[in-house]
Structure 1
Amino acid sequence: MMRMLLMCLAFTWLAGCAVNPATGRSDFVMMSERQELDLGARYNQEILKQNPRYDDARLQAYIQRVGERVARSSHRNQLKYVFTLVDSPDVNAFALPGGYIYIHRGLLAYLNSEAELAAVLGHEVGHVTARHSVRQQSQSMAWGLLGQAAAIGTGVGAVGDVANVMGNAFVRGYGRDMELEADGIGAQYLARAGYDPQAMIEVVKVLKNQETFAQDQAAKRGEAVPDSGGYHGLFDTHPDNDRRLQEVIGPARALAGGQQEVGRDVFLQMLDGLVFGDSASSGIRRGQHFYHGPLDFTLSYPPGWQMVNRPDVLIGHSTDEQAFIAMTLEAADKRLTPAEFLRKRAGSQRLVAGEALQVGALRGYTAVLPGQSARRVAVIYRGDSAFLFVAAVKGRASLETEDERFLSVIRSFRALTAQERKLAQPVRLQLVRAKAGQRLANLVGQGAAAEGGEARLRLLNNLYPSGEPRAGDWVKTLR
């Protein structure tokens, strides 16, 4: 039985070998191109639900145009590539199988030329043309088959579990080799498309400055250095003078003939007015306060607490991440009182210590879900909406020690004042021409002050930590 299973696996392995269109090597894949395209199209619909498009048709068209220019020079230029600017402050970009590529406006804001944008998009096109996601999935499927074979052949199911664990660890993330491969391939596409392949190195510098900035800001606050949560892969983890990176980009430099395009001014003009940080549609974080214009509410958090703002949930947490309070939005069932709403949501779990909430003219209810991990829950009705709060603790914290803070957040919920409506508007990039002798410190306005001041402007303009603009340069400021 074991011999037959191994023979089947060997046959599957051989049947799954295909010539990689980007590298010319024989790769192990268990998915046809048609299956790859179908998978990408299906995932694209799910991605767009979680990552809405940035509402700027002109900028979306520009990114599609730059992306197509790079993709036309790729090894799989017959694919229909779709490039999407995502309305998110995250510094990120990623690709799905089949040619669906996304760049977040948070990353776009820190780039400084069209060539750098093309470098990011070219890197992601490289993942698509080299079929990295397909190779990952095929490897994962093979590990699963191997685990099943071992389990059947030995009669020990745990062996299959071990194999699956090994498989998951093996394919988690693209890994350094695939990221280097995508950089080398992407740099070739840049050169063939007429862009300067040095832009790959420039993007690495931009993102290494991001890491240094985060470390410096954490040190000023007396906090631990945060884990890198930025752009995946080589861009995020390796210095611009890395020998292997220089080696893989070398062939692209040889391809570059004549004057290679950088496109700084045209690119920066496209960024003028770009939302920076939180968008109005997801709500704006300012210090310890949160303002949501379209939904007309504000919340306040205890000193030192931080917020995670996502389209589907707002999470506030203590500095040590031992206490959390999440708020989500649901449709209110007006046939139910707020207390009945919570009891229905609790299902078979009982609520204790319940009390009515009166937040201005708004009605609500709060209670505790008892148990080993007791939670504070609450709901506030506003119009047709029900704002649902769930608060919990972990580790050494207890509900008793954190409950007053949870209640203070819930009770801070109220409608915006006229002045606060202005605070619910996002910060935007604004371009200005640097004058002779003008220092970046002179360009720090209210918007920049809210987002990290002079250090943030230096980061945005690739001048971190101490550079100054030259006379006549376009400078990104925040307003």
Structure 2
Amino acid sequence: MRQLLSCSLATAALLLFNSCATNPVTGKKNLNFMSEEQEVALGLQSDPQIVAQFGLVENPALQRFIQEKGTQMASISHRPNLKYQFKIVDSPVLNAFAVPGGFVYFTRGIMAHFNSEAQFAGVLGHEIGHITARHSAQQQSKSTLAQVLLMGGMIASPTLAQYGNELSQGASLLFLKFGRDDERQSDELGVEYSTKIGYDATHMADFFQTLQRQSQQSGQEELPNFLSSHPNPGDRYNTVHQLAAQWKTQTNATNLKEGRDSYLRMIDGLIYGEDPKQGFVENSIFYHPELKFQFPIPAGWQHQNTPQQVQMAPQDGKAMMFLRLAQGTSLQAAAQKMLTDNQLQAIESKQVTVNGLPALAVIAQQAPQQQQQQQAQQQQAPPIQVLSYFIQHGGNIYNITGVTAATTFNAYFPAFSATAQNFKPLTDPEKINRKPEVVRIKTIRTPTTLQQALRTYNVPDKRMEEMAILNGMTLTDRLEANTLIKVIEK
């Protein structure tokens, strides 16, 4: 047992010894199993998957803006040789992220919340910083090393092996997507890069306040500093202000740009929040205006809507359900492909009608070989069991599948069945013609407060704080004549 553990530790040590690479930003040696060629290959592989998952915002001017600013910033970065790509993806979530090899993505949700080119540039520099400092590649390498050590422990001790899943999750927690040190370094690089291309990085600090307020308004409790993968927004605000002042002094920079009005005019008309044409939920019913169908979501279940599928799950995480387009020219062919692709074996199948639509209902379990493999790996974990409906509507075949352990299948069967059997054509004109909310830029003609200005544009009281956060202001802030502000309209 000791020999096996020693062997795994020796293997890890050998990997560590042979896998240190120079960090392009710091010049120091870092653990890295991934070459630059592998980084680029990973980015090229990930990009089409990310675009397929979210879709791209159909706004040529904004897409051109992010690519131009990104290219300009990348050229003065620590890794100007990479072929960077910058894209705005069609998601309402307030987020930006990068993958190895030079791929950076901003959501339309975060684009709506910026209030200047300088805020945008600071976050853009932050994401480029993750790439130039090879944070993604290092995280991959640390995860690999953690798994080597973990597997050594699992081989050495049957007791550890019993808790393999929990230990894997623990290893993942040790190496979150980016650690706090990586985030701080990327903040520093965001300040450096945005300053070098002429933007005032103090406005990047202001955006952290927007993030903090947005988090609080959405009901998300702040994580303690030692648990969060990102530094506390308040701490980042102060640190970035200090860094911005240092870079101004260091570079003797004058006339650094904010670009507030130019940015606001550029996002006029940007879709805000959920885009109804991609599907929306109202009163626990999912509606898809373009494909003209609807179905209920079980009470208390969470949902996530992407271009590929609608996914639903209860809070206990013991089941999941999804709706997606099935592949096949007939109900039987679609069912067979789904079963084959997921290595499932049908135990019951029957043709049914769902609200006048031809359908096929299938109950299936993991194929015996899959069950044996799972049991060997997970110490007799129960096999999964599914209820799957294939429904013809509007020239498509839709697959609604509920998945859970065989031991809990009967408990979740009513929820699976009710969702599938209440799939129906959408005929309500109000739902079919639902328009999205969009950002509109308004000019304040006389001095006033933000709250008074918002009332002028008929913003309801319940959305006042939301609009204040969107504008990066407080409701009592005084506005000068000719100030531009954001409001949300349909």
Q: TM-score, normalised by structure 2?
A: 0.77
Which one-letter code corresponds to 2:345 in the other structure? S
Look up the match of 1:204.
208
Which one-letter code corresponds to 1:428 in the other structure? V
2:279 pairs with one of 268, 283, 288: 283
Write out aligned runs for 1:340-419 (5 A).
Answer: 348-351=345-348, 356-359=352-355, 361-366=356-361, 377-391=388-402, 403=414, 407=418, 410-411=421-422, 413-419=424-430
2:117 pairs with one of 95, 101, 114: 114
State the Cα deviation string for residues 358-403 of structure 1 (Å, max 9, x = none). Answer: 42x5333557669998765433211331222234679x99856983
Question: 9-18 or 122-131, which moves further after superposition?
Answer: 9-18
Report the Cα offset of residue 13 of structure 1.
Answer: 3.9
**1:172 paired to 2:183:** no
**1:309 paired to 2:305:** yes
Which one-letter code corresponds to 2:483 in the other structure? D
State the Cα deviation string for residues 180-219 of structure 1 (Å, max 9, x = none). Answer: 011012211111111111122112111001111112xx8x
Look up the match of 2:270.
274
Look up the match of 2:376.
none
Residues 37 and 128 (structure 1), Cα distance of their counterparts in 2 relative to 1, 3 Å cut: same
Question: 15-24 or 323-332, which moves further after superposition?
Answer: 323-332
Write the distance in 2 (CA, Å) between the matches of 1:337 and 1:171: 43
Report the Cα offset of residue 342 of structure 1.
Answer: 9.8
Look up the match of 1:473.
483
Write the distance in 2 (CA, Å) between the matches of 1:194 and 1:119: 11
3-state DSSP of counterpart to 1:21: coil
Which one-letter code corresponds to 1:258 in the other structure? T
Contact 1:444 1:453 in 2 (8 A): no
Contact 1:440 1:468 in 2 (8 A): no
Report the Cα offset of residue 340 of structure 1.
Answer: 9.5
Write the distance in 2 (CA, Å) between the matches of 1:392 and 1:4: 40
State the Cα deviation string for residues 248-288 of structure 1 (Å, max 9, x = none). Answer: 55533434511211111111111111122223553233444
Report the Cα offset of residue 292 of structure 1.
Answer: 1.9
3-state DSSP of counterpart to 1:64: helix
Look up the match of 1:156.
156
Write the distance in 1 (CA, Å) between the matches of 2:274 and 2:203: 28
Contact 1:362 1:380 in 2 (8 A): yes
Which one-letter code corresponds to 2:347 in the other structure? R
Which one-letter code corresponds to 2:472 in the other structure? N
Look up the match of 2:455.
441
Contact 2:400 2:420 in 1 (8 A): no
3-state DSSP of counterpart to 1:351: strand
Residues 158 and 262 (structure 1), Cα distance of their counterparts in 2 relative to 1, 3 Å cut: farther
Look up the match of 2:139.
136
Look up the match of 1:213.
217
Question: 28-37 or 76-85, which moves further after superposition?
Answer: 28-37
Q: Which runs of 5+ in 1 are unaligned?
A: 219-224
Residues 116 and 313 (structure 1), Cα distance of their counterparts in 2 relative to 1, 3 Å cut: same
Contact 2:109 2:273 in 1 (8 A): yes
3-state DSSP of counterpart to 1:439: helix
Look up the match of 1:183.
187
Look up the match of 1:17.
20
**1:47 paired to 2:57:** no
Q: TM-score, normalised by structure 1?
A: 0.79
Which one-letter code corresponds to 1:252 in the other structure? W
Residues 255 and 291 (structure 1), Cα distance of their counterparts in 2 relative to 1, 3 Å cut: farther
3-state DSSP of counterpart to 1:348: strand
Which one-letter code corresponds to 1:238 in the other structure? P
2:97 pairs with one of 88, 94, 98: 94
